[in-house]
Amino acid sequence: MHPQAQVHLQVLPEEQLLQGLRLRNAAGTGPDILFINNTTATKLYRAGLTRTVKVPPVLLRRMDPSEVSRFQTASGELSSVPVLLLPQLACFDRRRLAQPPANLTELLRLSRQGLRVGLSLDGFNLAWTFGSLGACG
């Protein structure tokens, strides 16, 4: 929607999140949006580091009622908004493949030709792969 907007992502270990947010909020540089799990969202709200969100009734009706009830405050606002993310990530080893496949059909063709295709399901190894090796294409 806004091609000139710049997004700055920062990943913090869970054990550093509360203190990190306190420092950033005090400096006026707190984040605009957080993608966190349910437990952490509740902790942040109870610690006064996040505020409630007033969601129009039409949107509330489109959400899973069991999820809404977990985050709804006594005033009817939400302490966090349940979000379903289905990210897609395509990585390749630049040492084995000079150019990334342009689409899934091309990837399948390379696989039929003998290229081993797979992806680590372990988050640490996946992050290390695309972070340190520059493997994402």
Asked if residue 53 and residue 102 are part of one domain, the reply reads no
Asked if residue 66 and residue 107 are part of one domain, the reply reads no
pLDDT score at 131: 45
Asked if residue 73 and residue 104 are part of one domain, the reply reads no
Asked if residue 119 and residue 65 are part of one domain, the reply reads no
pLDDT score at 31: 84
Mean pLDDT over all residues of the chain?
77
pLDDT at 126 over 60: no
Asked if residue 64 and residue 7 are part of one domain, the reply reads yes
The domain of 10 spans 1-83
Q: How many domains does the chain have?
A: 2
Q: By percentage, how much of the chain surpasses pLDDT 70?
A: 77
List pLDDT tens digits, range 35-77: 888 788 888 888 888 888 888 888 888 888 888 888 888 888 8
pLDDT score at 132: 41
At residue 20, what is the residue type?
G
Asked if residue 114 and residue 100 are part of one domain, the reply reads yes
Q: CA angle 130-106-101, nearest 5°?
A: 30
pLDDT score at 136: 47
pLDDT at 88 over 80: no
Asked if residue 98 and residue 78 are part of one domain, the reply reads no
Asked if residue 117 and residue 66 are part of one domain, the reply reads no
Average pLDDT over residues 112-131: 62
Q: How confident is the model at residue 137 (pLDDT cuts 50, 70, 90)?
A: very low
Asked if residue 127 and residue 60 are part of one domain, the reply reads no
Asked if residue 29 and residue 66 are part of one domain, the reply reads yes
Asked if residue 23 and residue 75 are part of one domain, the reply reads yes
pLDDT score at 133: 45
